[in-house]
Structure 1
Amino acid sequence: MASTLEPLRSTDAPNGSEIYPDSLETIARQLLVAIGEDPDREGLVDTPRRYAQWWREFIDYEAGKVETLFDSVSEDQLVFVSDMRVWSLCEHHLLPFNCTLNIAYRSAKNLLGLSKFGRIAHKHAHKLQVQERLVADIAKEIEDITGSPDVAVIGRGEHLCMTMRGIRTGALMTSAVFGGVFQKDGPERSHLQTLAHASGNAPRW
């Protein structure tokens, strides 16, 4: 995300430091001025740098290897990973939302390494998102990696674009993707529902 622009020396920058006309640091300073703040006052002098650093760390997140597979102990075994919390950014307002994820899949020939669920979840959360797409992206990647169409992802999130602005009412939003055997009522879906409610983070559907 490093800028290719030539740096400018500016008396507006603290300590005569280099700034870039379209850098995140400059944008942060402009934002502070636009809301009536003084970016050179004590307490805000280093805020543009911190702001830029946070954005770069969040968007440039490296998930690492997500394709670690093991031989399945038995085919058609239900694997359920619950209560994983990730943070993402609403693409409509650039405000954060947190999402608690429950992920299930029915193993075929391969089992996905446990830590890879978290890596996949963070990979798709560390971008401008909407919750509906987040759960769909996670489900699609797990299906692609494991080769199993029987994947379900349930997300339950609180969105600051609702609780901090507009109506300013706290609420939890649930979105879910059901693939394969989980799409229709049956023993697999009932089993998934039992596990999800045992986790305490999934409403009845």
Structure 2
Amino acid sequence: MRDPIELLARQLLVAIGEDPEREGLRDTPARYARWWREFTRYEPGTMDTVFETTTGANLVAVSAIGVWSLCEHHLLPFSCRLTVGYLPHGQILGLSKFARIAQRHAHKLQSQERLSEEIADDVEKLTGSPDVAVIGKGEHLCMAMRGIRAPATMTTTVWRGALQDSAMRSELIALTSGLRD
């Protein structure tokens, strides 16, 4: 039995007037199916490495985390640059874990709003800190390639706990602005 995703790709090619048997397209349905499986079954590895800390609750920020995701409304890609900030409460999260968390949530059908929320949820759960912020700046091909066909940047924010305070927001933005956003 043929792969159902591969069959869908073949049907799509036929529906748009292409010949899936022509040179250049012959292996496209199989590549298409492989890509969908690779993207949606992405395994980021361990995400829960935390370290005890005795330092005060000073702001920690990780910025310019780049991810690709898929718009759940149009099945088109969007890229997003993420900033994550939090105030440690006794333990800190390993640096690479921020990117792993972001990639885990990006590798599925998604909205940028929910992507930012899910990242904040994981950072809060893993660090035990209710003081978490996530800023996402995304460019969506569903807007740039279809409809209005105008590229634009969408910004989403999640502010929790002490990071809802305007002074803390300002500090996070000042620390991370201009850093490959």
Name the TM tier (shorter chain): over 0.9
Distance in 1 separating the partners of 2:171 and 2:149? 37
Partner of 2:166, secondary structure, is: coil
Correspondence for 2:84: 103
CA shift, 1:63, in A, is: 1.6
Correspondence for 1:195: 175
Cα deviations by residue, 1:11-47 (Å, 9 ceiling, x for unpaired)? xxxxxxxx24xx1010000000000000000000000
- How many aligned residue pairs are there? 181
Q: Structure 2 length normalisation: TM-score? A: 0.97
Residues 200 and 46 of structure 1: is their aligned pair in 2 closer, same or farther, counting only changes over 3 Å?
Answer: closer
Correspondence for 1:167: 148
Distance in 2 separating the partners of 1:51 and 1:160? 18
- Which of 1 and 2 has higher RCO (CA within 8 Å, sep 6+)? 2
Distance in 1 separating the partners of 2:26 and 2:160? 50
Cα deviations by residue, 1:67-89 (Å, 9 ceiling, x for unpaired)? 00001141302111010110000
- Unpaired runs of 5+ residues, structure 1, are 1-6, 8-18
Distance in 1 separating the partners of 2:20 and 2:180? 45
Letter in 1 for 2:91: N
Verify: 1:71 aligned to 2:52, yes or no.
Answer: yes
- Residue identity over aligned pairs, in percent, reads 58
CA shift, 1:197, in A, is: 1.8
Partner of 2:22, secondary structure, is: coil
Correspondence for 1:14: none
* 155-164 vs 67-76, which moves further: 67-76
Q: 2:93 aligns with which of 109, 112, 116?
A: 112
Letter in 2 for 1:78: L
Computing the radius of gyration from Cα coordinates, the structure with the larger value is 1
Cα deviations by residue, 1:135-168 (Å, 9 ceiling, x for unpaired)? 0000011001100011000000000000000000
CA shift, 1:199, in A, is: 2.1
Distance in 1 separating the partners of 2:40 and 2:73? 16
Distance in 2 separating the partners of 1:86 and 1:200? 13
Correspondence for 1:33: 14
**Is the contact made by 1:181 and 1:189 (CA closer than 8 Å) also made in structure 2?**
no
Distance in 1 separating the partners of 2:177 and 2:47? 27
Distance in 2 separating the partners of 1:181 and 1:191? 12
Verify: 1:157 aligned to 2:138, yes or no.
Answer: yes
